[in-house]
Structures are given as C-alpha cells and as structure tokens.
Structure 1
Amino acid sequence: MRLFICLFAACLPAASAFAQQVDETSLLNDKGEDTAILNYSAYKRSLSIAGVLQTRYMASLTKNVDVSGKNFDPATDKGITNSFLVKRARIMVRANVNDHFSANILVNLADFSGNPANKVLENAFIRYSLNKYFNVQAGQFRPFFGIEDALPVDIIRTLDFSNQYYAFGRNGWQSFQVGLSVFGDVTANGQLRYYAGVYNGNNRNQPLDDDNTKNLYARLEGTIGEHLTVAANGGTGSLGGTTTGNAYGGDFTGRIDLSHKWKLLIMAEWKSGTNFTAYVADTASPKPALSRYRMRGFYFFPTLRYEHDSPRMRAIEFSARYEYLDEHYRMDSNPRQTVIPNLSLIFADNFFATLQLGVALDFFKKDQPLTAVYSRNLAYAQLQIRI
C-alpha cells in the first residue's frame, strides 16, 4: 500500500503539467466555446430601410412659359406657371443575407402621381461581394458611367441632375438599366478603382431587351492625393435594332480646404455619345449614317461650403452649376446652356435635412416656339429629407 501511494504522488506533477498544455489545434476559445463558423447562411445578416422625400415649389419667370419649360400660346392655353409638387418619394430597402450576398430595392412612389408606366421601380439588384477587389451585381441598377452614377442617388446638391445625365439616360448610356456589373479596387490602398458591365441598354422596367446587342461599359477611376479624383468612361451599344454606337468621356471631382470652416468642392464632366433616339425618330429616307447623330455635353459645378457646425444649422452651400449640352451637334446643332445658382441650408449632416433656393436659367441658340426648346428662367424652393 505504501508503495502504491508513493507511485501516485510521483505522477501528480506530470499530470498537472499535461493539464496546462495548450492545444493549438483546438477550435474552442478560452471559455470553452466553439468559435468555428460552420454555417454562413445568416452571418452578419441585417435589414435596413432608407429613403428621400423631395418636395418643391416652382415658378416660371418667363412670360408664356409653363413650369415644365414649354412655351405656350396664351390665346389657346392658359399654361401652369407655378406649382407645388413632390419630385421624389424614394424608399430603399437593403438586405444583407450574409457577409457576401445582399439585395437592394429602390422605388420612387412619386411616379404614381403621373403615368407610372416603366417607372416607380428604380434599383432592383443582387450583389455578391467577395472582397474589396471583386464585387458583382445583377439586376436593375445605374451603370457607373460618370460622377452622377457614382454618387448616392439620394443626394442632390442642386435643383436636379444635369441635363446631360437625362439625355444620355434616354439613350441607354446612363440611368437605370438591366444587366450585370463588376467593380472593385485595383490597388491595395484603394486609390485606383475599376467598373465594368454589360446590360440591355433599353432603359428600366422593360421585360426584355429590344435587340440582340448588349451595351458594354467601363470606367477607370483614380484618386490623386487626398481630395482629387479623375476618371475616364467608355461604352458601346445600340437601341431598338440600330447599328452599334459609342459613348465616352471623362470627369473629375476635388475638394480644397480653404480654412477650417470654408471648403471649395468642384465637379466637372465631359461626355460625347451616339444619340439613338434622334436616329430612330428621324423619318428621312434614306437616313444619314448613325455616326451623324451625336450629342455632347460639359458641366462645371463649383460649390463653396461653410461649415456652420451649430446644433441646428450644420452647413451652408453656395453653388452655381454651368452646363453646355448639344444633342445634335453634327446635324441641326442647337446647344443649350444652363446656369443654376443655388443656396443650400443644411440642417442635418449629410443632407438629411436641406432647404434649397435657386433659379434655373436656360438659353437655347435657336428657340422653337410652342415647344420646350425655348429659353426660360425658373425659380424654385426645394426641401429634401433623407430617412
């Protein structure tokens, strides 16, 4: 018995040492819990709802021009020269299924106030994010083909997007399209980024493509220093069975810190592209070559921002966007120039509550009576709330 006790006591130090050995292959944390993720189905799952409500009062400052910009004959048409309206009532739902898959749905309920055909639904896409170098999304979205596509859709720093944006959107180069897109960083520091994709090119909410040719686009974007970004865009495509056309352009955005309180924000963009809608609408026989139907535009958008930083007034912005657009510069050129001086009073950070006051001044080289191609001035007061 005495021999057995001695042998047991001799084994105790060895047993104690063995119990303190760290198992480097164990999946248990220091609390004895299993840290291995065996199912990523709901990893980082979340649901968020956001939106923007934009209400507006407009008044025409030009005789015999209504609030839509159309010249009218007062003998036969009284014309609506001032009006309140709801321009945007957007609701966006984003669902993160897990850390790789997400879905985004954006609708504009304000479209129900008019003819909602082919409207209302704006974004409707699924995104797969492998890492910062590779992301792919499929569905309905805005191709990254300029500054206004890259910026959040619910931040509008002046009356509206540029005339160029809407002109290129009507021709399938911008705005909401149905297709597939890939994007991500090229460099580890994120200073060089790429965007590329393929899509139908016949605009949003269409059940099918209107021809068998798909639009292709690419954008390369680089950041120089801390506050300057330059980019180049290019694309090819068609609309309604036309022959293949193209579009290309470049842009830059920058910020100059003048002082602790004052900042100068600058945006500028130039683009040229095929005007498919003008080609399709032309009834001439035979038609000129598609290469004759070209549009081009440029805008310069400086904004002087004062950081007020009081509890109720966060910032004040003074801006004056200048834009030049010619939708038929190779045939029947009639350029449109627009100047929009604007004052923004920002009551909540990141444009969550903003009051905007300004005037849109439009000048055409050749006015066309009884149409919207007519020089005019429009005053506006606009309140936008992000949620």
Structure 2
Amino acid sequence: MKKFCFFLLICFSLNCYLAKAQQIDRTSVKDSLTNYSAYKRKLTFAGVLQTRYLLSLNKDVDISGKNFDGTLSKGISNTFMIRRARVMVKGDINDHFSANILANLADFSSDPTNKVLENAYIRYSLNKYFHVQAGQFRPFFGIEDAISVDIIRTLDFSNQYYAFGKNGWQSFQTGLSVFGNIIPDGKLRYFAGVYNGNNKNKPSDDNNTKNYYGRLEADLLKNVTVGVNAGSGSMAASGVGKAYGADASAKIPLSKKFDLLLMTEFKTGANFLAYNADKQPVRPDLSEYQMRGFYFFPTLRYNHESKRLRAIEFSCRYEYFDENYKVQSNPRQTFIPNVSLIFADDFYAAIQCGVAIDRFKNQIPLTTAYNNSLGYVQLQIRF
C-alpha cells in the first residue's frame, strides 16, 4: 500500500508539472465562473440488451458444454435466454467529479447473490494526465478491459478473461485506480491500481493482502496499439501470486469499403481457485498452479453504409487456454466463426450468428471438459 501511495504521489506531482507547462484555452464563460459546483452537470442513461438462442450440436452435451449420460438423464440441448440486460447511469457532478453505476438485470433470472451490481465508482478527473476512481470497476488488466462492456463482437469475451476474472485479476473488482496520458498527444498511457481481489459485491476483502496492477499502453503506429500488464495479488489464504500479459490491436484499411481488425493477447497468472480447492495433505506451492492463455481475433469488416445496413463483419476467434498447465494440464482450444449484421453505427443494433467449437486435449466424461460445438444466434441493442 505504501508503494502505491508513493506512486500516486509521483503521478500527481508529474501531473501538476505538465498542467503548468501546458497552455489551456479557457472560454470567457468559464473564466467568469466563481462557483464550479454545477459546471457541466448532467445525468445520462445508457444500456445494452442482449438476447440469444443456443443450440448444442453434439449428442449428450448440454448448452453449457457439459457431457451427460443420455441413458440416465436428458440435458437441455437448446434454449432462448437473456444474457445481458445492463442499465448504466452516469452523473457528472461538475467538470472534475462524476459517478457511474452499472447493473445487469439479467442476473435476477438466476441466483443474484454477488451479482447484478457491476460498476459502482466515483471518478475525479483533473485533466488528461490524471484520473482517479474509487469503488467497484474493471481494472485495466488487458485489452478486453479497455473495450466497453456493452460491445460484444462475438459470442462473448475470451475464456481467459472469465478465468482471470474468477481469480481476482480482472473483471469487476473493488478498490482504487489511477490512469491517464504520459505524453501530451496521448500515444503513451498508464494505468495502475490497488483493489481487494476477491471479486465483486463482497462486503470486505477476504484477507489483508491487496492486489496491485499496472499497465502501459502505446500507439506505436497509426491504428496500432500495444499494451503490457503486470499484477500481484492473493485470494483467501492462498499466498501472493503474480500475473503478466501483453496484447496488441490494429485496424488496417484494405480499401474504401473493407477494414481488417486484429486483436491478440497473451496472459499467464496464478490460479488461486485451483490452489485453494486442492485439499491433499501436501500440495505444491502456489507457483505451480498457473493459468496460461493466448487468442487471436481477426475481423474483416465490410462497410456497406446503406440507410439500414451499416456494416457486415466476418470473424473467427481462435483461443488456446490451459487453466492449470503445471499441475493438471488439459489445454482447451476454441474456435468461434461469427457473422455480424450491424444495423446502427457503433454496434447500437446488431444480429450475430456463429458456432463456438471447443476441443480439449483430454476429454473428461460427465464434465464441461468435453468436446462440444454450440450454435448461436443473438441480437444486441445498445441505447
């Protein structure tokens, strides 16, 4: 905690220096203000609704990917479902302070314990070099955290995103973070934070050790961004573990109508859940319980730009993920070919269809570690 406070002090001092060096254009209206309490105050609402139809394409495998004995039971092989029904409220108190609340109402369809509330934070923005937020939010620990939570370009986020989220490395966590530009043109950015690391909607931390993370992000070329991440943390009585990652994204114009979008990421980190679940009398050290994953996500976008159909995207994400590659390795490979018809700019209305194909090195009957293919059609609306 002392190291983080020291880092925060350095960022604030650097920010003050840059703010003095930078010439700021002030309008006559702003210069005449004597009370900034309600300057630029506003309240905005937004959200996303995502519905889908799922169909298992394998015999004796249900929609969750779990194998079942067809002679003893009958699994659910197809269903309609609401995946996300998010509502976001953002309140700008003035030009420096704001609050953000995001809730997923779809979680009420199952046990809502420790669900529903996702974002709940207060942000202070001094200028483009220094922002600080406190509450529940997604730590910037990978490229998928930098993407808006209401833009899903395929069936879902990556397998590694959800596994790292369950282990407290990313997804929604409670704590404090700072971020901003390092240089004036914004081509080099920093992110850092400290948080509990025991996931969302918990009344308090589950130990006295906090999680720390840092990320540097740079625009190396036009439309090419790379990032590196590092983190340290724990969960319950697991001890302290580490996590690292690197990612890159690019947008390559191929012609007036076609763009190629590329995204790739690699991450490795401690699997606290596997370590804590191992009840053998003598178990290996935490450093032996490690996750490791990589994915490549190319998307060919055709900018149709008609009055109704704005674009068509063709993609196929490939992912390799091993949830415990040192102690009990069983790599999972996932292929998701997908077609998206976009009827409103910026994914405000889209229909998507595709197949999620999972292949495991070792199939385990009567579990989700079993080869399966899941067909889907989903409609998502942002508002």
TM-score, normalisation: structure 1? 0.91
Distance 2:30 2:172 in 1: 46
Of 283, 290, 293, 1:294 maps to 290
1:333 and 2:322 are equivalent in the alignment: no
The aligned counterpart of 1:78 is 74
> Would you say 1:179 and 2:171 are equivalent positions?
no
1:347 aligned partner: 343
Please name the residue that 1:69 is paired with: 65
TM-score normalised by length of structure 2:
0.92
- Runs of 5+ consecutive residues of structure 2 not aligned to the other structure: 1-27
The Cα of 1:338 is off from its aligned counterpart by: 0.0
Q: 1:113: which partner in 2?
A: 109
Secondary structure of 2:37's counterpart equals coil
Query: Which of 204, 212, 224 does residue 220 from structure 2 map onto?
Result: 224
Match of 1:59 in 2: 55
Matched pairs, number? 356
- 2:210 and 2:30 map into 1 onto residues whose CA distance is 49
Contact 2:237–2:276 (Cα < 8 Å) also in 1: no
Q: How does 1:2-151 map to 2 (within 5 A)?
A: 36-151=32-147
SS in 1 for 2:74: coil
Of the structure 1 ranges 33-42 and 328-337, higher mean CA displacement relative to structure 2 is found in 33-42
Q: 1:293, CA displacement in angstroms? A: 0.3
Q: Residue 75 of structure 1: CA displacement?
A: 2.0
Deviations 1:210-238 (A, max 9, x none): 00000000000000121000010000000
Q: Provide the C-alpha distance between the structure 1 equivalents of 2:243 and 2:30, rounded to a whole number of angstroms.
A: 55
SS of 2:274's equivalent in the other structure is helix
1:146-176 Cα shifts (integer Å, max 9, x gaps): 0110010100000000000000001000100
Per the TM alignment, residue 332 of structure 1 is displaced from its structure 2 partner at its CA by 1.6
SS of the residue aligned with 1:190?
coil
User: How many angstroms does 1:191 deviate by?
Assistant: 0.1
Q: Deviations over 1:30-77 (max 9, x none)?
A: xxx996211111000001000000000000001100001110111222
Q: Select 1:235's aligned residue among 223, 226, 231.
A: 231
Counterpart secondary structure, 1:288: coil
1:242: how far off?
1.4
SS at match of 2:366: coil
C-alpha distance in 2 between matches for 1:35 and 1:253: 41
- State the 4+ residue runs in structure 1 displaced beyond 6 angstroms: none
Encode CA deviations 1:306-347: one digit per residue, 9 max, x unaligned.
000000000000000000000111112100000000000000
CA distance in 1, matches of 2:248, 2:146: 12
Deviation readout 1:254-282 (Å, 9 max, x if unpaired): 01100010000000000000000000000
C-alpha separation between the residues in 1 aligned to 2:42 and 2:84? 26
Q: Distance in 2 between matches of 1:157 and 1:314?
A: 15
Max Rg structure: 1
